[in-house]
Amino acid sequence: MNFNSEKFNSDTSEILERAAKCEKISEKDGIALMNLTNSNDILNLGIAADRIRKQKVGDIVSFVLNLHINYTNTCISKCEFCAYYKDKEDKGGYVLSVNEILEMIKKAKQISNITEVHIVGALNPEISAEYYEDILKEIRKNFPDLAIKAFTATEIFFIAKKNKSSVKEILERFKDAGLNFMPGGGAEILNDEIRAKICPNKIKSDEWLNVMETAHKLNIKSNATMLYGHIESSGDRIRHILKLRDLQKKTNGFLGFIPLSFHPKGTKLDKERIVKMPVSGIEDLKVIAVSRILLNNFDNVRAYWVMMGKNLAQVALHYGANDFDGTVGKENITYSAGKISERSAGIDELKNLIKGAGRIPAIRTTDYKIIEILE
């Protein structure tokens, strides 16, 4: 594909030519792509990312029938970017019982026959390790065919530390109890200087990566995420993505990459007037495209409609994304930050959005095996 034109920056064209040939892109080149502002260059960025997507995974855009469950919102981390957490003494704090979780799954199975439950929460010191095990055991007992994707690296590290256990020991216990996969949350930006400002009480960058590496070695595959649009720089984003690329080269344990666009409403970053608005749709599309170009050892890049909104997520399918997440059900964390997108989606709605983008919609498993192509 020829990107050389008087309309386009020659340096950008050269990078995109190499990207389209699936050559590895450097940190310097990645930053240059993330900093593009010329509209023609950004369109060309999308063309390159879309071509790589087509070469790697074809025209199928998949989604999973899933339910998100947030088991508690009581948290000692108190991240600057979070509008979801409550202190122990706050009104509105909760911990779901195991029976409440089972009932939520039962209802979701009746409505859409979900194949995956996605369970994440907060760093609640009042919860024992046995609570997490009981959740896993009871779901496995009552819904033996359901894929259980649960507990971020941050939660696993916290549980291990609280119980004076190793991360490996906790993961082995949870795997024995029924854990199949892990979500990719808690990564935020893998730069400890940034983390010291936005999530000082949370797991460090190397600790997050080490939890994921340990999980992958135990054959617990996971997703990977990046929270962007707060106080990070373009360089921070690129170095984050490259750390994921390096770990994937080592373990091949990441199923997919999910860029998460920060929504500041109700967070400390908003209240302190540090970040007032989400990034633009153009910035969202650039992140998707650059992620696809740099992550040459990831098959799947997700357009997470819960944060992007459904219409922009549809456009992202032309900027390198090949997955539309899922039906989701009730998601509380992004919703607490004032996200205007709905908290759930139906099969027909997702199918029509994907077909409207000129792609082939399909229902998948948690590990991206196609269950059904939708006509």
Residue range 15-30, pLDDT digits in tens: 988 888 878 899 999 9
Tracing tokens 């109890």 back to the chain, one arrives at 177
- Structure tokens belonging to residue 360: 């082939």
CA 73 to chain centre: 19
Q: What is the pLDDT of residue 84?
A: 62
Q: What is the pTM of this model?
A: 0.92
**Gap between the Cα atoms of 135 and 117, Å rounded:** 11
CB proximity list for 259: less than 8 A, separation 6 or greater: 225, 226, 228, 284, 287, 288, 291, 301, 302, 304
Per residue of the chain (375 residues), what is the pLDDT tens digit? Answer: 555 444 556 778 889 888 888 788 999 999 999 999 999 999 999 999 999 999 999 999 999 999 999 999 888 777 767 766 666 777 778 999 999 999 999 999 998 889 999 999 999 999 999 999 999 999 999 999 999 999 999 999 999 999 999 999 999 999 999 999 999 999 999 999 999 999 888 999 999 999 999 999 999 999 999 999 999 999 999 999 999 999 999 999 999 999 999 888 888 888 888 887 889 999 999 999 999 999 999 999 999 998 999 999 999 999 999 999 998 765 444 444 444 445 578 899 999 999 999 999 999 999 999 999 998
Strand-strand pairing, 254-261 and 116-120 = unpaired
- Structure tokens belonging to residue 172: 């082995």
b/e per residue, 173-193, with b = 16+ CB within 10 A? bbeebbbbbbbbbbbbbbbee
Contact 232, 191 (CB under 8 A): yes
Q: What is the pLDDT of residue 85?
A: 61
- Residue range 224-281, pLDDT digits in tens: 999 999 999 999 999 999 999 999 999 999 999 999 998 888 888 888 888 878 899 9
Terminal Cα distance for the chain, rounded: 31
Q: Report all structural domains of the chain as residue ranges with CATH numbers, in order of start.
A: 59-373 (3.20.20.70)
